[in-house]
């Protein structure tokens, strides 16, 4: 199986296994009015049972000078793959409209006008707003 290791400043941030039908995406977005950027890693899997195959991992703030490295590794052993649901994800019944995490993966989900947002996304958004103030 092929694995993608995403390193940030010599620290392993993500280790993702991919089957033949999986797609892994790492995207960088500049935060408006700030020098920081956001690294967001997502996956699409034909064999993922929920959320139309969409999986989202937590976003990370990237500062100027940070180094991001992606290493492609082939392994026989299996760790986490895009197609593998976590126990909590399988049992979750509602999901954050922003990051896609299930209600059992986060501490709390807040609802309003048909959308849900988790406590982790609120903290992340608050940090972006604080940096721009």
Indicate if 47 and 95 belong to the same structural domain: no
What is the three-state SS of the chain? CEEEEEEECCEEEEEEEECCCEEEEEEEEECCCCCCEEEEEEEEECCCCCHHHEEECCCEEECCCCCEEEEEEECCCCCCECCCCCHHHHHCCCECCCCCCECCCCCCEEEECCEEEEHHHHHHHHHHHHHHC
pLDDT for the residue 26: 83
- The whole-model pTM stands at 0.54
Tokens for 103, please give them. 């209600």
Domain that holds residue 96: 86-133
Indicate if 65 and 52 belong to the same structural domain: yes
Q: How crowded is residue 62: how many other Cβ atoms within 10 Å of its Cβ? A: 20
Indicate if 21 and 79 belong to the same structural domain: yes
pLDDT for the residue 58: 65
Total domains in the chain come to: 2
Average pLDDT, consecutive stretches of 10 residues, N- to C-terminus, the chain (133 residues): 86 77 78 78 64 62 89 72 47 79 83 85 82 71
Indicate if 76 and 103 belong to the same structural domain: no
Indicate if 105 and 118 belong to the same structural domain: yes
């Amino acid at each position: 199986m092929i694995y993608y290791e995403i390193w940030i400043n010599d620290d392993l941030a993500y280790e993702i296994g991919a089957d033949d039908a999986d797609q892994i995406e790492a995207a960088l977005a500049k935060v408006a009015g700030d020098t920081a950027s956001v690294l967001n890693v997502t996956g699409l899997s034909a064999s993922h049972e929920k959320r139309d195959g969409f999986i989202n991992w937590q976003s990370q703030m990237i500062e100027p000078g940070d180094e991001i490295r992606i290493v492609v590794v082939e392994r026989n052993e299996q760790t986490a793959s895009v197609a593998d649901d976590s126990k909590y994800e399988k049992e979750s019944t509602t999901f954050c409209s922003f990051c896609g995490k299930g209600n059992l993966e986060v501490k709390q989900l807040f609802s309003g006008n048909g959308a849900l947002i988790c406590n982790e996304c609120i903290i992340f958004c608050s940090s972006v707003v604080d940096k721009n103030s």
